[in-house]
């Protein structure tokens, strides 16, 4: 049973919503954030990456960054950029790009559901990144970016969403990257109660993206419980901001790899070694090779594409992690042949989200890298199977696109 409840959102005014909303903090560095927010005092990057309002020499984890984030958020509230809804509502948030759209419900989910694994995870968090968001949430006393959750199809929930999306939206704007963002406010409390009850029939929610934000929100909630030992469990700090999409709406894009060198092998030697685990076929088609099914890969080296097909016996198809294409490539090629033991720490490998296109792989292979691998995308069912098994996905397994924006909804913890 999943606990999903309404909340009194702080939301930007209709006139400013398109200027406030920004991509999540973790998809850009500080210099990129400065450039994006330049000339826009309403940009939510002044909250999510507040170091842009300090000297560049200030470390991004400095206490002054979190103090500035809190200051900027409170100023946006005090000056009327943000207004608070008078009652707890739920919201519908639709993201549309390139003919694909996903429509989810914005609400608050329970830190206890996270702790008790009703909200399932598939990724480990890094201590430094988690601590950063703990400080950010703590100083701002707010969840400033929604956790991206998913659930298995529920016809009753979808029916309510369909009903409300036929009404006039509260926001409807297109961001500079061409993604359309549309929001409806579910201000009928009967429908809010109905959705709350429907989610009680949902066995599990799954984190699609935002593991660090989720973990930090839970840690701050537990910290508040220690600060207020008489808590009832109904306080806002017991819940965190989420946008919850049905699984059939989500699209995972390929997450491709580029490698700096061949580990001392000639191209002929490399292919000979790869042939022990893969069938290698010279690609004769036009343009780059994009894998069309699981367990196939593209390899680009010295201006040519090759199709790799994993041989039977090179993976365990009964293991949800070992049978992932990212695992097959790592276990049979990147590690034993190219010597990349840990892709999370190696400086010989880089990762390129599918949104950048396969031409980016060719560009990198001709510039600072030597070879590239195109991947077949991980599926939502793969993600759920791994989370259900209590296992962890390899790093850089999923790239979700389009991404929910931060700043459209703020959930205050008091």
* Contact status, residue 53 vs residue 62, Cβ threshold 8 Å: no
What CATH class is the domain 255-376? alpha beta
The size of the chain, in residues, is 414
* Contact status, residue 145 vs residue 406, Cβ threshold 8 Å: yes
* Contact status, residue 170 vs residue 150, Cβ threshold 8 Å: no
pLDDT for 228 equals 96
If you search the block for the tokens 């960054």, which residue do you land on?
Answer: 65
Mean pLDDT, the chain, rounded, equals 96
pLDDT tens digits, one per residue of 287-342 = 999 999 999 999 999 999 999 999 999 999 899 999 999 999 999 999 999 999 99
Closest listed residue to residue 146, CA positions, set 280, 42, 4: 4
pLDDT surpassing 90 at residue 178: yes
- The pLDDT confidence band at residue 126, using thresholds 50, 70 and 90, is confident
Arithmetic mean of pLDDT, 65-74: 98
Please report, rounded to a whole number, the percentage of residues in the chain having pLDDT higher than 90: 92
pLDDT tens digits, one per residue of 214-270 = 999 999 999 999 999 999 999 999 999 999 999 999 989 999 999 999 999 999 999
Arithmetic mean of pLDDT, 178-201: 97
Partnered with residue 173 across adjacent β-strands are 181
pLDDT surpassing 90 at residue 349: yes
Q: Is the peptide bond before 402 cis (omega within 30 degrees of 0)?
A: yes
More confident residue, 126 or 373: 373
Q: How far apart are CA 392 and CA 382, in angstroms?
A: 11
User: pTM score, two decimals?
Assistant: 0.91
CA 382 to mean position of chain CA atoms: 16
Q: How far is CA 142 from CA 63, 69, 111, 394, in A?
A: 17, 11, 14, 31
Arithmetic mean of pLDDT, 392-403: 89
Other CB atoms within 10 Å distance of the CB of residue 206? 21
| Helices and strands in the chain, H and E counts | 13, 21
Partnered with residue 160 across adjacent β-strands are none
- The pLDDT confidence band at residue 181, using thresholds 50, 70 and 90, is very high
Give CATH 3.30.1760 domain extents, the chain: 255-376
């Amino acid at each position: 049973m999943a606990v999903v409840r309404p909340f009194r959102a702080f939301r930007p005014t209709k006139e400013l919503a398109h200027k406030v909303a920004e991509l999540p903090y973790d998809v850009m560095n500080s210099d990129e954030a400065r450039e994006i927010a330049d000339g826009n005092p309403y940009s939510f990057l002044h909250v999510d990456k507040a170091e842009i309002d300090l000297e560049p020499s200030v470390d991004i984890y400095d206490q002054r960054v979190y103090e500035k984030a809190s200051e900027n958020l409170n100023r946006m509230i005090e000056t009327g950029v943000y207004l608070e809804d008078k009652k707890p509502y739920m919201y519908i948030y639709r993201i549309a790009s390139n003919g694909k759209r996903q429509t989810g419900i914005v609400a608050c989910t329970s830190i206890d559901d996270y702790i008790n694994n009703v909200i399932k995870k598939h990724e480990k968090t890094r201590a430094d990144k988690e601590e950063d968001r703990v400080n950010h949430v703590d100083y701002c006393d707010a969840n400033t970016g929604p956790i991206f959750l998913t659930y298995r199809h529920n016809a009753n929930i979808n029916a309510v969403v369909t009903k409300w999306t036929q009404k006039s939206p509260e926001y409807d704007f297109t961001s500079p990257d061409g993604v359309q963002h549309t929001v409806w406010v579910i201000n009928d409390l009967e429908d809010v109660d109905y959705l709350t009850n429907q989610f009680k029939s949902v066995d599990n929610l799954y984190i699609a993206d935002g593991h660090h934000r989720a973990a930090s929100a839970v840690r701050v909630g537990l910290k508040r419980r220690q600060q207020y030992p008489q808590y009832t469990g109904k306080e806002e700090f017991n819940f965190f901001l989420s946008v919850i999409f049905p699984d059939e709406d989500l699209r995972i894009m390929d997450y491709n790899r580029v490698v700096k060198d061949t580990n001392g092998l000639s191209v002929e030697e490399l292919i000979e070694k790869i042939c022990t685990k893969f069938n290698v076929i010279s690609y004769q088609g036009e343009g780059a090779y994009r894998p069309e099914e699981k367990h196939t890969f593209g390899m680009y080296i010295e201006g040519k594409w090759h199709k790799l097909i994993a041989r039977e016996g090179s993976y365990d198809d009964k293991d949800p992690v070992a049978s992932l294409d990212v695992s097959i490539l790592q276990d049979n090629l990147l590690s034993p042949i190219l010597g990349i033991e840990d892709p999370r720490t190696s400086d010989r490998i880089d990762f390129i989200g599918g949104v950048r296109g396969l031409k980016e792989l060719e560009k990198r292979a001709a510039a600072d890298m030597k070879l590239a691998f195109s991947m077949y995308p991980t599926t939502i069912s793969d993600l759920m199977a791994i989370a259900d098994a209590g296992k962890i996905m390899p790093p850089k397994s999923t790239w979700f696109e389009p991404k929910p924006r931060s700043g459209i909804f703020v959930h205050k913890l008091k």
